[in-house]
Amino acid sequence: MEADFVIVGAGSAGCAMAYRLSEAGASVLVIEHGGSDAGPFIQMPAALSYPMNMSMYDWGFQTEPEPHLGGRRLVTPRGKVIGGSSSINGMVYVRGHARDFDHWAESGAAGWGYADVLPYYKRMESWHDGGHGGDPAWRGTDGPMYVTRGPRRNPLYQAFVDAGRQAGYEVTDDYNGEKQEGFGPFEQTVWKGRRWSAANAYLRPALKRPNCELVRALARKIVIEDGRATGVEVERGGQVEVIRARREVVLAASSINSPKLLMLSGIGPAAHLAEHGLEVIADRPGVGQNLQDHLEIYFQMASKQPITLYRYWNLFWKGVIGAQWLFTKTGLGASNNFESCAFIRSRAGVEYPDIQYHFLPMAVRYDGKAAAEGHGFQAHTGPMRSPSRGEITLKSADPKAAPRIFFNYMSTEQDWVDFRTCLRLTREIFAQEAFAPYVKHEILPGADRTTDDELDGFVREHAESAYHPCGTCRMGAADDPGAVVDPHARVIGVDRLRVADSSIFPRITNGNLNAPSILVGEKVSDHLLGRDALPPANDRPWMHPDWKSSQR
């Protein structure tokens, strides 16, 4: 088997590249180890806690014991299915803040500033605000990726925004438009009641073309001859074979699996590869380093009124909601139920938001376990730009073995300062007048936890990953010894090999990572095709005029 381009991974970026490369007339083979994304668990938005916890759809990764979180091992779900993690994620759509991308450009990823990426965001989107306001001039209208807003029928969604306003924060109509900072409606990758994953948006249309094909196989390593990538060695049906690339090989296997595949192919820190008996083809010490994530806690309040989603948390109502969704694609099953959000700054002197909120009108955990107290609601919150850095390394040279995942969460004093601030600011928001009719008492952390030590203890015990791993094949200048890929996503030191997924982020973006991961696939497609990048935008994003002197 051979094609112009061989892409490893049918995830967010891989699907986007398959679509754009095949659209341009190139032949494409996409290698994916996971299976079909058919069935209600993936396609029904409200069922999002299921696929994330099903071995059929998830790689089942776990971290090493995290020393600053009491030695806990945290789950690290990654989609092992058509659509990758876009098929098992929470469907939250956040572009990231303009300054995130300017920071990328300033740190050596030339051509990735906000002015450069905004045209790609517009190209990939089909934005539908449902008549709820927003910034149409900043948004795309005819891209493959449908972005919508939930109906926000529950009064708690509005109470959250009102409480933010009462606490003195900005309100924003469109955090993906001119102004990220503030409280407002959340956006989701849902279309006509279905999860609009990268598979639905990009891969299915691409596979209808004669020049795009999907290969179900496990990638073992990249085949490199005379310093040039020529194909991918895969295992399929018990047989090992090579799929050849006439033009380039592109790794889009996730921030966990892309560095693993590079190392198995002899690209990475030389001493580490030697430990595992792997021949060194390119000594790139940055491979697997710079691992970042968002850590969050679920701040839970008990509700005075029985208006939360808890009333549907039984077999009867789950059946009713499921049936309504199956037959009509409407109702509570048709939303991820994250319909209000906020981005705020933790203190004066922080230029742009560094705390995010997801608001949910129910007190529940990601694994689907409801709070013991019945009716409640919660905000998921945590700092956006942790200074902690971890790493992905090999446990063994066996391609079937999971790599060693170590985030090194909360390893700096700043992490603790930021998290305490987060908890105290959240408590203040829930104390506002808008929540007076609804708040009974605080479930978690619990109103009695007020000192630094008590809040730290809560974080140590209860912080969970927001499942936003990235950064392990960092993009930078070609002469940067710590960079893995250059600004065109080419692996430095090997020809005809690129990496295009969240692993190339120099630094984690503000918010959820699905949108910027797809963006990487969109932009790298143009580099692969040798096209000029889209002309930069001139739009000026909103920055808080008093950020130097004021927290809100």
Strands (E), 348-480: 355-360, 376-383, 391-393, 404-406, 439-444, 464-465
If you write DSSP's letter for every residue of 44-68 in order, what string do you get? SGGGTTTGGG-TTTB--EEPPPBGG
Read off the amino acid at residue 327: F
Confirm or deny that 543 is annotated as ligand binding.
no
CA-CA distance, 139 to 176, in Å (whole number)?
Answer: 8
Q: Which two tokens stand for residue 32?
A: 């994916």
CA-CA distance, 117 to 536, in Å (whole number)?
Answer: 8
| Alpha helices in 59-111, H assignment, sequence order | 98-106
* Contact between residue 476 and residue 461 where contact means Cβ atoms under 8 Å apart: no
Confirm or deny that 90 is annotated as ligand binding.
yes
| Alpha helices in 150-282, H assignment, sequence order | 155-166, 198, 204-207, 254-264, 270-275
Q: Which two tokens stand for residue 354?
A: 């560094």
Q: Which two tokens stand for residue 271?
A: 């001493």
- Judge whether 544 counts as a catalytic residue: no
For residue 246, give the 3-state DSSP assignment.
strand
Which residues are within 8 A (CB) of 489 and not within 5 positions of it... i.e. 6 or more apart? 475, 498, 499, 500, 504, 520, 524, 527
Q: Which residue has the tokens 């927001």?
A: 466
Confirm or deny that 52 is annotated as ligand binding.
no
CA-CA distance, 300 to 445, in Å (whole number)?
Answer: 7
DSSP 337: S
* Contact between residue 93 and residue 148 where contact means Cβ atoms under 8 Å apart: no
Catalytic residue among 97, 358, 375, 468: 468
Q: Which two tokens stand for residue 74?
A: 């945290």
Which residues are within 8 A (CB) of 28 and not within 5 positions of it... i.e. 6 or more apart? 3, 4, 5, 6, 7, 17, 18, 21, 22, 206, 211, 212, 213
Q: Which residue has the tokens 């966990």?
A: 256
Question: CA–CA distance from 203 to each of 14, 194, 420, 486, 527 (Å)?
Answer: 9, 16, 42, 26, 19
CA-CA distance, 461 to 363, in Å (whole number)?
Answer: 18
Report the candidate in 203, 38, 146 with the shortest Cα–Cα distance to residue 515. 146
Confirm or deny that 81 is annotated as ligand binding.
yes
* Contact between residue 283 and residue 484 where contact means Cβ atoms under 8 Å apart: no
Residue numbers in the known binding site for FAD are 81, 89-92
Return the active site residues. Answer: 468
